[in-house]
Amino acid sequence: ASQHRLWPEIENVVKSQVNMAKMGIGECGAGWQLFAEDGEMKMYRREEEVDGMVCDPLKAVHVVKGISGHEVCHYFFNPQYRYDWESTLEHMTVLETISEDTLVFLQTHKRIWPASQREGLFWSHIRKLPNEKDRDGPDIWTVVNNSTEYSEHPANNGKCVRIFLTVCLLCQTTVDPPKDGTTLTRDNLSCKITYCSVVNPGGWAPASVLRAVYKREYPKFLKRFTAYVKNQTKNKPIMF
C-alpha cells in the first residue's frame, strides 16, 4: 500500500485531520457555534461559503459508554455494515481495495428535496495511533474519508451531483478498571468520539435547505451510528 499513488496524500490528510480533531473546540479558531446537543453529544458548526455554496465545517464530540475506539472505527470503516447504520445511503460500492486498511468508495445518497441527488467518491483509511498521553493506555483509533478523482467515474456525468468531503472520526478509549480487581467488563469502558467533516455539496443548493439538512441529519447520523455499535458489540468480547 505504501507505494500506491494515493499514499502520500493519505499520509498528509490523515496527519492533518487527526491534529485538527485532537484540538478542543476553543483551539480550532473562532466562529464555532453549538447547534445541537443531546446528552453527551455536542455538535458545532462554522458558517462558511465557497463560491456561494454552503461548506460549513462540522465538529461533533460525543462520549459513549460500553464501547472501544477500535470497535467504533471498525463498524464505521467496514463496508459490510454501512447499510445498517447510514440511513441516507442509496447505493455503495468499493471501487478499489488499496490495502486492508484503505478502500475507495463510490456511494450515492438518497435525494433530499429540493436539492438534487448527491454522490461521493472517496478513499477511506483506518489507523491505530499511539496514545501519547498515556503510553500503556488504550490506543487511539481513527478513520479518515477524503474525496478523490477516478478517471473511470468522472464527476457529474450522470444524474448525481458529486460532493467533495473530508471526514475524520477520532476515537479515544478510556478504561476505568473495577476497584475489586475483577475482570474488565463493558461497564468499565467508554469512548470519546470526535467527528469532523467538511462537505462541499458540489453544486448549488439553497443555503437554508443545506443548513436545515445538516442540522437534522448529522445529529441523527451520529446517534444512530453509535447506538448501532453499542448494539452490535454488547454481547461480544471487547475489541481493543
Give contact residues for ligand B8X (rule: CB under 6 A): 86, 88, 107, 109, 112, 115, 118, 120, 145, 163, 165, 167, 197, 199, 201, 205, 210, 213-214, 217-218, 221
Cell, residue 188: 468499565
Supply angle C-alpha 24, 207, 52, rounded to 5: 90
Minimum Å distance from CB 178 to ligand B8X? 34
Minimum Å distance from CB 130 to ligand B8X? 25
**Mind giving me the DSSP string for 139-163?**
PEEEEEEEE---TTS-TTSSSSEEP
Minimum Å distance from CB 165 to ligand B8X? 5
Element (H, E) at 219: helix 207-233
Nearer Cβ to ligand B8X (72/199): 199
Secondary structure letter of residue 123 according to DSSP: E
Pairing of strands 161-162, 118-129: parallel
Q: Is 125 within 8 Å of 102 (Cβ atoms)?
A: yes
Nearer Cβ to ligand B8X (195/233): 195
Minimum Å distance from CB 128 to ligand B8X? 19
Total residues belonging to the chain: 240
Nearer Cβ to ligand B8X (193/238): 193
Nearer Cβ to ligand B8X (62/118): 118
For residues 51 and 19, give the distance between their C-alpha atoms in angstroms, rounded to a whole number. Answer: 27
Nearer Cβ to ligand B8X (35/238): 35
Secondary structure letter of residue 1 according to DSSP: -
Q: Strands of the chain (E only): list them.
A: 33-38, 41-45, 49-50, 53-54, 58-65, 89-99, 102-109, 118-129, 140-147, 161-162, 164-175, 189-200
Minimum Å distance from CB 28 to ligand B8X? 18
Minimum Å distance from CB 40 to ligand B8X? 19
Cell, residue 3: 507505494
Nearer Cβ to ligand B8X (138/225): 225
